Amino acid sequence: MQFNGISQSYTRGQALPELLKQRILILDGAMGTMIQQYKLTEADYRGLPGNTRFAEHPGDIKGNNELLVLTQPQIISKIHEQYLDAGADIIETNTFGATSVAQEDYKMAGLAREMNEVSAKLARAACEKYSTSDKPRFAAGAIGPTPKTASISPDVNDPGARNVSFDTLRASYREQIEGLFAGGVDLFLVETIFDTLNAKAALFALDEFFEETGERLPVMISGTVTDASGRILSGQTVEAFWNSLRHIKPLTFGLNCALGAALMRPYIAELARICDAAISCYPNAGLPNPMSDTGFDETPDITSSLVDGFAKDGLVNLVGGCCGTTPDHIRAIANAVAKRKPRAFYRENSVVAA
């Protein structure tokens, strides 16, 4: 298979490159936003009364959404199915924080491997339920940034201090990758990147996994611009961000979260100009508003109209939603971009190759 001018023999998700050429694909929306609607208690997170496995676990675990694949799997499955019913081609596993590094906050680091495998199985089962011959569905293994940063000091008085090392991140991500693969994901999504060094640890772990196993799955990369300067938190512009990770030859490259679609547009336009990969964009439903039911103000009509503007101008290949988005947002986005053509992303069309 020739993709982006480079031979890619994917062992899973083989149909994705061609589908991205044919139409704009749809990613799901926010898992956390949907979980919030259930207003789960501490007992609910522990799975009580039906599941007593974590009844005696020390400390509060409310808010550990990744644990719900073990204690409330029916909720996670239902959310997956709601997004698939809304038109999502790709759904993300509920594993954004399912690394040993992140789970240490809840004293559950030892559960990371299990969380990832079970979460992948739930997402894969939902995809199989909704897949048809003309609309296959795909499960993306979600790999989040962790709460720690490898290139920024947590101590304003000590610029050289770090709260995590590259090797610790790499090992944690490798464990997550193995669990996601065992559970059946079709591709990997390294997302909401605010520190490029963290992302490099995840991508290094993926490269090691592919080399050692002989498997080769599509990789999606998505960063987050944190302010109006157009930079990610560790200081890179989107152009520098792309150039520091392009050697991975990702299937898609783009932005998510943070600013919302309206403020994200110039940065998506810049990536569309320079990248020879497919471009992804899944923004928040505007800027945060704690008074809103979802924590964000934008209605499905507003968000879909903004995302459709990207599609109309030929900037994107894959779109969806991040924080504050719901199945209604995804349905509106899917309906809006159905009439649009995907951005040409072949190497011969790239500014870089010119």
Strand-pair partners of 282: 256
The pLDDT tens digits of the residues spanning 128-151 come to 999 999 999 999 999 999 999 999
Q: Give the pair of three-digit tokens for residue 143.
A: 């790999």
Whole-number Å distance between alpha carbons of 22 and 24: 7
**Crossing angle for the helix pair 300-312 and 261-274, to the nearest 10 degrees:** 20
Which amino acid is present at 96? Answer: F
| pLDDT > 70? residue 156 | yes
Instruction: Please name which of 24, 26, 31 lies closest in space to residue 326, comparing C-alpha atoms.
Output: 31
Residue ranges of E strands in 261-314:
278-283
pLDDT on residue 304: 98
| pLDDT > 80? residue 55 | yes
pLDDT on residue 346: 63
Instruction: Please name which of 85, 118, 91 lies closest in space to residue 186, comparing C-alpha atoms.
Output: 91
Q: Which of 51-55, 126-130, 246-250, 257-261 has the lowest mean pLDDT?
A: 257-261
Q: What is the CA radius of gyration of the chain?
A: 19
DSSP letter, residue 27: B
Domain ranges of the chain: 15-30+84-153+161-338
The pLDDT tens digits of the residues spanning 111-122 come to 999 999 999 999
The phi, psi pair for 253, rounded to 5°, reads -145, 135
The structure's pTM equals 0.94
The pLDDT tens digits of the residues spanning 200-232 come to 999 999 999 999 999 999 999 999 998 878 899
Query: Binding residue per annotation — 322?
Result: yes
pLDDT on residue 4: 44
Query: Binding residue per annotation — 281?
Result: no
| pLDDT > 70? residue 293 | yes
Q: Residues 192, 239, 210, CA angle at the centre, nearest 5°?
A: 55
Instruction: Please name which of 36, 29, 171 lies closest in space to residue 113, comparing C-alpha atoms.
Output: 171
Instruction: Please name which of 205, 196, 188 lies closest in space to residue 225, comparing C-alpha atoms.
Output: 196
Whole-number Å distance between alpha carbons of 332 and 316: 16
- Number of CB atoms found within 10 A of residue 52's CB: 10
Strands 187-193 and 6-7: unpaired
CA separation (Å) from 65 to 31, 36, 114?
A: 9, 10, 14
Strand-pair partners of 280: 254, 318
Whole-number Å distance between alpha carbons of 295 and 15: 36
Query: Binding residue per annotation — 323?
Result: yes
In the chain the first and final C-alpha atoms are separated, in Å, by 23
Q: Which of 81-85, 120-124, 345-349 has the lowest mean pLDDT?
A: 345-349
Q: Give the pair of three-digit tokens for residue 298.
A: 């934008």
Whole-number Å distance between alpha carbons of 232 and 244: 13
Whole-number Å distance between alpha carbons of 10 and 13: 7
Whole-number Å distance between alpha carbons of 99 and 146: 7
pLDDT on residue 196: 96
- Domain 15-30+84-153+161-338: top CATH class: alpha beta
